[in-house]
Amino acid sequence: MPKNTEYIQELEYSTYLPKREDLERIDKTAQANTNTCIDLINGELTHTVIHWEDTLISKGKTIGKTYGKKVNNRCRIVHKNKYRRVVAVPDIHGDYEHLISILRHAKIIDEENNWIATDTILIQTGDLLNRGNDTMKIYETVLDLREQAAKKGGIFYNLIGNHEIFEVRGNHYFTSSGDFDEFGGMLEHEEAFGPDGKYGQFIRNVMNTTMIIDDTLFTHAGIRPDYLGGGIEEINKYIRELLQSTPSPKELGRMYKNNEIHPVLVDRYFDDYGPFWLRDFAKNPESEICPQVEETLRRTNTKRMVIGHTPQSYGKITSRCSNKLIIIDIGVSRCIGGGYYGYLEILNDKQEVWARYFN
Is this structure's pTM higher than 0.85?
A: yes
Q: What is the pLDDT of residue 15?
A: 63
Q: Where are the alpha helices (DSSP H) in the chain?
A: 5-16, 23-43, 46-49, 96-105, 135-152, 162-169, 177-183, 186-192, 198-205, 232-244, 249-257, 263-266, 280-283, 286-300
CA distance 156 to 178: 27
Q: What is the pLDDT of residue 72?
A: 43
Pick the closest to residue 90 from 80, 99, 100 (CA basis).
99
Per-residue confidence band for 95, with pLDDT thresholds at 50, 70 and 90? very high
Q: What is the pLDDT of residue 74?
A: 52
Between 337 and 128, residue with greater pLDDT: 128
CA distance 69 to 301: 8
Which of 37-41, 138-142, 233-237, 271-275 shows the lowest mean pLDDT across its residues? 37-41
Q: What is the pLDDT of residue 67?
A: 36
pLDDT digits (tens, 9 = 90+) for 252-290: 999 988 889 999 999 999 999 999 999 999 999 999 999
Instruction: Reply yes or no on whether the pLDDT at 80 is more than 60.
Output: no
Which of 33-47, 139-153, 157-171, 308-322 shows the lowest mean pLDDT across its residues? 33-47
Q: For each of the domains in the chain, give its residue range(s) and CATH number, in order of start.
A: 5-358 (3.60.21.10)
Q: If you average pLDDT over every residue of the chain, what do you get?
A: 91
pLDDT digits (tens, 9 = 90+) for 319-354: 999 999 999 999 999 999 889 999 999 999 899 999
List all residues 6 or more positions away from 109 whose beta carbon is below 8 Å from its beta carbon: 100, 103, 115, 116, 117, 145
